[in-house]
Amino acid sequence: MSDIVAQVAAKNETTIATVTLLLSLYGDPRHLGTRSGMCTHHLESNEPTEVPLKRKMSRKATVRTAAVAAMAAGGMLATAAAPAHAATLPEGNLANALVNYVAAPNALAGGNDWSCKPTAIHPNPVILVPGTLDNMGSTFVKTAPALKNAGYCVYSLNYGFDALSLGRASGLAPVPTSVQQLANFVTKVRASTGAAKVDLVGWSQGGLLPIDYIKRYGGNTQVAHYVGWSQSSNGTTVDGFTSLASAMGVAGFPGLAFGTLDMPGVRDQLVGSAYLKGLDAVPLPTGPKYLSILTTQDELLTPYTNGALPAPATNVTIQNYCPADQTGHIGLTLDDPTLQLTMNFLNNGSSSFKPTCTGFGMPDL
């Protein structure tokens, strides 16, 4: 029996069979990311390299969704607390992310310490912004402690909650509402730390909000570095669904559906939305340094090239460094090469930096 099953057996025997099935199908999540591949050439340009997409349209669920449902149904969730005075915080994994999603959506190992003061080496506090339907407790179980261990002051927020969020699912409110929440949070972090500027790292919609903040809320003078992981400022076709609807003469249907479901934050991210048209009309300002990290295996932000930013940004595709890395949209949050590229960029590292090709995130299913 897996260690994970053994740990939860005493708490809720009714879910053991379900979790065992998940483990048999997907493997022990603590062991995800142990595959390795050869590093090859890197990409430094304003456009991502085109790589043929390998999409499986029938794959609708994700490992995270399935496992969270199983855990929530059995009431077996528990958080693993880091040692109170540990010199080095452990980086979280998929198992921790699953637990935190339900049990600790506001947890941030090493983060949101309002007594933290930036150092001369790392003068900019780093604000991490989770994506749609996720939360900081789940998204940044790996990233937050890694940054804290490297000497950064680290912060994050959940945003855009509405009645359907249940205190866990960010990004359902209209995107402008969420951008204002981010702007207010940046002000709070700068006031607490005394920092002139912050660094922003965002995943999916969490990458979109900083772009709007920089473009239309004066963030270009408050942000030193921006890193987006499959950021959605150019919108998504939801694996072709929006494009198909347009071709069939029902172009407004996807947006109407998400609006009816009280998810305007999702609707605003669809290709062609009124919100994105307004955002696109504003050029990307100079000032901050921009990095956008993409994966060819993205099945949520589609086409994956929509995650690219115009000049002066640098766009990189994970598979141009590590061809064996099949991480999808969700997997980027636990992908070692993605984290390495992010930390190198925040540290003003070499533009020729190549990540070690191990510790890959999971693919979209």
CA dihedral 291, 292, 295, 300 (to 10 degrees): 150
At 290-325, the pLDDT tens digits run 999 999 999 999 999 999 999 999 999 999 999 999
Confidence band of 231 (pLDDT split at 50, 70, 90) = very high
Q: Which of 350, 360, 174, 201 is nearest to 288 (CA)?
A: 201
Would the pLDDT of 70 be above 50? no
Residue 86, in any domain of the structure: no
Please, are residues 170 and 159 in contact by the beta-carbon 8 Å criterion? yes
Q: Based on C-alpha coordinates, what's the Rg of the chain?
A: 20
Q: Which two tokens stand for residue 237?
A: 């076709």
Residue 19, in any domain of the structure: no
Residue 38, CB-side half-sphere exposure with 13 Å CA sphere: 2
Would the pLDDT of 153 be above 50? yes
Residue 188, in any domain of the structure: yes
Could you list the residue range(s) of the whole structural domain that residue 291 is in? 32-61+105-346
Residue 15, in any domain of the structure: no
Mean pLDDT calculated for residue range 236-242: 68
Which pLDDT value is given to residue 254? Answer: 39
Least confident of 84-98, 122-136, 225-239, 261-275: 84-98
Residue 69, in any domain of the structure: no
Buried b (16+ CB within 10 A) or exposed e, 115-151: ebebeeebbbbbbbbbbbbbbbbbbbbbbbbbbbbee
Residue 214, in any domain of the structure: yes
Residue 26, in any domain of the structure: no
Would the pLDDT of 79 be above 90? no
d(CA 205, CA 215): 15
Q: Which string of DSSP letters, residue by residue, matches 49-99?
A: PP------TT----HHHHHHHHHHHHT-----PPPTT-SSPPPP-HHHHHH
The one-letter amino acid code at 110 reads: G
User: What's 171's domain CATH number?
Assistant: 3.40.50.1820
CA angle 69, 72, 76 (to 5 degrees): 130
Q: Give the number of domains in the chain.
A: 1
Which pLDDT value is given to residue 165? Answer: 84
Which pLDDT value is given to residue 93? Answer: 95
Residue 217, in any domain of the structure: yes
Mean pLDDT calculated for residue range 350-356: 96
Confidence band of 262 (pLDDT split at 50, 70, 90) = low
Confidence band of 123 (pLDDT split at 50, 70, 90) = very high
Would the pLDDT of 210 be above 70? yes
Which pLDDT value is given to residue 364? Answer: 85
At 157-188, the pLDDT tens digits run 999 988 888 888 899 999 999 999 999 999 99
